[in-house]
Amino acid sequence: MARTAFLGLGVMGYPMAGHLKSAGHEVTVYNRTAAKAEAWAAEHGGASAPKPREAATGAEYVMSCVGNDDDLRSVCLGEDGAFAGMQAGSIFIDHTTVSAKVTRELYEAAKAQGISFVDAPISGGQAGAENGVLSVMCGGDAEAYAKAEPVIDAYARICRRIGETGAGQMTKMCNQIAIAGLVQGLSESLHFAEKAGLDGRAVVEVISQGAAGSWQMSNRYETMLDDHFEHGFAVDWMRKDLGICLDAADETGASLPVTALVDQFYKDVQKMGGGRWDTSSLFKRLRESG
């Protein structure tokens, strides 16, 4: 079993760190709000630390799941950052969805200190984190990934190395691009059913068994019809991710017309006061627009 640290105990990180402990690993946690780290330690029998550096000291593997590029830099760099406490040969595994640019920046900073850096963004939502069945898409050196994979398996249903540094983040962008179009399509389908006077539940029961079926349809249609949007991945975070996608598209020359349009629809949801609603609230936008 390994000595690990986990930085960031949000709705994803809290249960992920718990799965590491349940798998028998030694776990020290850090969270910006110290009370949450202390609560995790009390619940799981692990340890908490007041700074990323202290959490990372002595750890073979340091995981992070924070908010954005700046948050990730904050927990990695500086005199209180995790890199300052990590020993040569240890591995930093980042589960945050961030830009490939910051991933490559931190990979180089880690490499200069003899530390490996694996970008490993996740998909599966809060339920996936709680049940330990996340999809983990990784980039980084093959040797570092091979060492990290057995530890990541504590909370993963599937974990794959896609390529070199940044490939994990680029794959997560593919994931978010696909989700954006699917949720908008599902929202329009349910909206059309309502306008046509159809029973949305009966419609989904039938079409979900054919080519229209998807995870989003199976797991979100009922809450969408019930006007319940207080679970899952928040619109504010989705817009952050889609912004990363669109910036990367400009750099790579990819054309993302649907993604750009759906991003604006999410902006409308934010204007409705729905920044913390989950991403299926695209349906609420249509329903309330008439």
For residues 162-178, one letter each, b for 16 or more C-beta atoms within 10 angstroms of the residue's C-beta and e for the rest, the string is beebbbbbbbbbebbbe
172 catalytic, yes or no? Answer: yes
Out of 21, 51, 172, 284, the active site residue is 172
Sign for the pseudo-dihedral over CA of 32, 33, 35, 39: negative
Torsion of CA 135, 137, 141, 144, to 10 degrees: -20
- Are 101 and 122 in contact by the 8 Å Cβ rule? The answer is no
- Are 84 and 74 in contact by the 8 Å Cβ rule? The answer is no
CA 199/CA 221 separation, integer angstroms: 12
- The token pair that represents 112 in the structure block: 């200069």
CA 270/CA 284 separation, integer angstroms: 12
Q: Which residues are catalytic?
A: 172
